[in-house]
Amino acid sequence: MIRIEKSDRLKNLPPYLFKEIDRQKEEVRKKGVDIIDLGVGDPDMPTPPHIIEALNKAALNPANHKYPSYTGMDEFNETVARWYKRRFNVDLDPGSEVVTLIGSKEGIAHIPLAFINNNDFALASSPGYPVYDIGVKFAGGQIYFMDLLKKNDFLPDLDAVPEEIAGKAKMMFINYPNNPTSAVADGDFFKKVVSFAELHNIIVCHDAAYTEMAFDGYRPISFLETDGAKDVGIEFHSLSKTYNMTGWRIGFAVGRAEVIQALGQIKSNIDSGAFQAVQIAGIAALEGDQACVENMNREYTERRDVLIDGLIGLGLSVEKPQATFYVWIEVPEGYSSAEFTSHLLLKGGIVVTPGNGFGAAGEGYVRMALTVGKERMKEVIERIRAIGF
């Protein structure tokens, strides 16, 4: 029997955050505990019927059973360009400024391979989606973390990035509306990002997966709406959260043509593109009636209000989010993020995500996802009231 030894890149990675949460959750479930899962951001509502119908019809067509294009069907990329024009008034060339992804996570993980050499730097926020860090490390690069602090409205302080690091950095990952903090960004912030990127010759990668999950009349903007943004970077988007299609694996990246084409070159050497029937379903999603998105947001608004009002009533410190389906909660005095997470799971059967799992600057917080109905949200509050803290 041969000796198996993992590569250094795997040895040096921490356990993937959500995989570790699944492990702990299963341990508690085996004890017969009724678990309420507010951990992983996976929508509990079904994919809208008209999207499923489009998939069913497309899957029956043998023309869709062959290898798809590495960078997406022309029809899907054209649909993305039309959607960006309608939604954000951003003009895109579907032939050079759009690439189809097998979910935005795939593109985010692969983009560093196109631009990062060994020991090159990239900038990313802490707390933040772990894949920014992991993708850069897999490419042999190093991450400089920009802390997201409450006093700065959970926006990175670009002026605090050391000049030496800024001069070395090749890429920057930002994400608004933000996971995990649920913070939002305005045009003034994006203007600062463009100026910073131009000054230091940095490719901006904006993860915009949550722009369609917004409440109380708020409409998140696209980074690409900012003057000069398309000169310095790209934007990642996904159908996963907008249309409850997390398992379908369909997303896209848009923006600076040279960056998009480099990502496409990486994809052509690694994968075979998204299943055409799923792309056709994606066309139905983007071009169909958006009432399904409005209905989903109304439901999340009601869940948000039940949870936020209950948490505040218990004495916890939390802001009401304008977007995403996450709630970012300060842990009570005397607890670390991990300790409060364990307390809720072991004593109350409530799964949340510790803030430090998203990076060191997330210490002192936990994230809850609005992924159960209103009655279960009420039960979350009652369980926390019963176990105390």
* pLDDT per residue as tens digits for the range 201-211: 999 999 999 99
Question: What is d(CA 269, CA 259) in angstroms, rounded to the nearest whole number?
Answer: 16
Q: Work out the pLDDT band at 16, boundaries 50, 70, 90.
A: low
- Mean pLDDT, rounded, of the chain: 96
Question: What is d(CA 7, CA 9) in angstroms, rounded to the nearest whole number?
Answer: 5
- For residue 2, being part of any structural domain is answered with no
Residues 84 and 183 in one domain: yes
| Number of domains into which the chain is organized | 2
- For residue 96, being part of any structural domain is answered with yes
Q: What pLDDT, on the 0 to 100 scale, is given for residue 17?
A: 66
Residues 355 and 232 in one domain: no
Question: What is d(CA 312, CA 385) in angstroms, rounded to the nearest whole number?
Answer: 12
Domain boundary among 240, 264, 287: 287
C-alpha pair distances (Å), 33 with each of 25, 27, 37, 347, 349: 10, 10, 12, 10, 6
* Average pLDDT value for residue range 109-132: 96
The more confidently predicted of residues 25 and 167 is 167
* Average pLDDT value for residue range 307-320: 97
- Closest C-alpha to 372, from 386, 385, 363, 383: 383
Residues 221 and 244 in one domain: yes
Q: What pLDDT, on the 0 to 100 scale, is given for residue 19?
A: 72
Q: What pLDDT, on the 0 to 100 scale, is given for residue 26?
A: 85
Domain boundary among 287, 309, 325: 287
- For residue 3, being part of any structural domain is answered with no
Neighbours of 1 (CB within 10 A): 3
* pLDDT per residue as tens digits for the range 263-292: 999 999 999 899 999 999 999 999 999 999
Q: What is the span of the domain harbouring residue 115?
A: 49-287
Residues 220 and 299 in one domain: no
* pLDDT per residue as tens digits for the range 339-375: 999 999 989 999 999 999 999 999 999 999 999 999 9
- Compute the chain's Rg from CA coordinates: 21
Residue 149, both tokens: 């602090």
Question: What is d(CA 292, CA 212) in angstroms, rounded to the nearest whole number?
Answer: 11
Q: What pLDDT, on the 0 to 100 scale, is given for residue 24?
A: 79
CATH number, position 120: 3.40.640.10
Domain boundary among 254, 287, 320: 287
Residues 158 and 68 in one domain: yes
* pLDDT per residue as tens digits for the range 178-199: 999 999 999 999 999 999 999 9
- For residue 144, being part of any structural domain is answered with yes
Residues 235 and 282 in one domain: yes
- For residue 299, being part of any structural domain is answered with yes
Residues 197 and 342 in one domain: no
Tokens 């917004």 label which residue? 214
Tokens 């993992």 label which residue? 6
Residues 54 and 42 in one domain: no
- For residue 346, being part of any structural domain is answered with yes
Residues 268 and 302 in one domain: no
- For residue 1, being part of any structural domain is answered with no
Residues 233 and 170 in one domain: yes
Residues 228 and 164 in one domain: yes
Q: Please list the residues that pair with 254 across neighbouring strands.
A: 98, 235
CATH number, position 369: 3.90.1150.10
Residues 268 and 301 in one domain: no
pTM for the model stands at: 0.96
- For residue 327, being part of any structural domain is answered with yes
